[in-house]
Structure 1
């Protein structure tokens, strides 16, 4: 039998968004500045596309995605499906989807493409101490 479906996160599950983003890791998907699909994405384009797959309409940029989220939580309370941002408020320059376990799925840059990354490897990038939840 298939494994049991995980219980939805409080306030509704973002599992569909996580599944959509994880399905774009590696070829034929790639990083494209300003990209919103079908194959090329930048960081916020990937987030926007993933949440659209979960029936949620998010704004286009990292800064807007954080600003318009209905819930903000301290980083220590982040749950899978929350958005993490980098930079200084309100001008965040990067966004990724938290997977749990200190990892994110993201469209980082043309060299890395769409990838799962350990947050520890991004320590010099100014991770903001709050996560955004839709």
Structure 2
């Protein structure tokens, strides 16, 4: 009896493991690669980034991020912006001393955390590491984030939460990081059909338009996710339902093993609760109206922790 129970438990575990592997393989086949939440350390700097970040800090952010695969330099830069305006702030603790919470330097370390990530024997840029020297502080922040989950993009939000225990802080850092990353090029010419090319071209023209729940375009103040996809395909002569749930069922669903093509719609949620949709533009990217406070942008389709559902292909006879 005990042997049968053990065998059943093992069989169940093996089945779950195989299902997990199959799901991961399907996602890999669908996208070609797993995309990290904000790209990689090689992400190009946006015009805002080059205008706002001092050249020496920009170099330090990019060099430090390269030591932690999966941690975008834009995230380090966003922390530096929020914590000290890249060392330019005159608030207590940035250039000397500590603020009321005991935080020091451009990346705002408290003493215990600084010591934890600069143990005895650590060599700084100019001798003993200093939390006030960005050449020491930025690599230390990288080591902390990497140790707390940022490596390989496993838990970037968790790593940021460990840096400052507030959900609003995590969201603010990620939103600022988005602004520092130059959007990848979108080439509508690679779309498989004229309709897909027109939809992508329309969506690209909406980059930067504010998010507005229930919004159908700039005349109303912005788009929500399905408002954007509906308007994009309307420009190509294809009528889609208004909400993401209905768009999912009104378009041709593709198997997870299918290659995602520019112009395909990508959905998130569950079959009975579809909550987000974007337009694929190639190279694992999509144009989307993501959420309140974040305008229409180019972003990754797949990253650890999201709830990708599947892909569909709009047709002229929908």
TM-score interval, smaller chain = 0.7 to 0.9
Listed as ranges, the gaps of 5+ residues in structure 1 are: none
Instruction: Tell me how far apart the structure 1 counterparts of residues 272 and 304 of structure 2 sit (CA, whole Å).
Output: 20
Instruction: Tell me how far apart the structure 1 counterparts of residues 299 and 191 of structure 2 sit (CA, whole Å).
Output: 24
2:216 to 9, 33, 36: 36
| Higher share in helix | 2
Q: 1:15-60 deviations in whole A, cap 9, x for unaligned?
A: 100000010001xx11001101134100000000111111111000
Give the corresponding residue for 2:304. 123
The answer on whether the counterparts of 2:260 and 2:311 sit within 8 Å (CA) in structure 1 is: yes
Residue 7 of structure 1 deviates from its aligned partner by: 6.8
SS of aligned partner of 1:124: coil
Instruction: Tell me how far apart the structure 1 counterparts of residues 273 and 291 of structure 2 sit (CA, whole Å).
Output: 18
TM-score relative to the length of structure 2:
0.37
Give the corresponding residue for 1:60. 242
Listed as ranges, the gaps of 5+ residues in structure 2 are: 1-187
The answer on whether the counterparts of 1:95 and 1:106 sit within 8 Å (CA) in structure 2 is: yes
Matched, 1:25 2:207: yes
TM-score relative to the length of structure 1:
0.84
Residue 126 of structure 1 deviates from its aligned partner by: 0.4
Matched, 1:16 2:198: yes
Instruction: Tell me how far apart the structure 2 counterparts of residues 6 and 19 of structure 1 sit (CA, whole Å).
Output: 9
Moved over 3 A (4+): 5-8
Q: Tell which structure's C-alpha radius of gyration is larger.
A: 2
Instruction: Tell me how far apart the structure 1 counterparts of residues 297 and 254 of structure 2 sit (CA, whole Å).
Output: 24
Q: Identify if the C-alpha distance between structure 1 residues 34 and 7 changes in structure 2 by more than 3 Å, giving closer, same or farther.
A: closer
The answer on whether the counterparts of 2:195 and 2:237 sit within 8 Å (CA) in structure 1 is: no
Greater relative CO (CA pairs within 8 A, separation 6+): 1
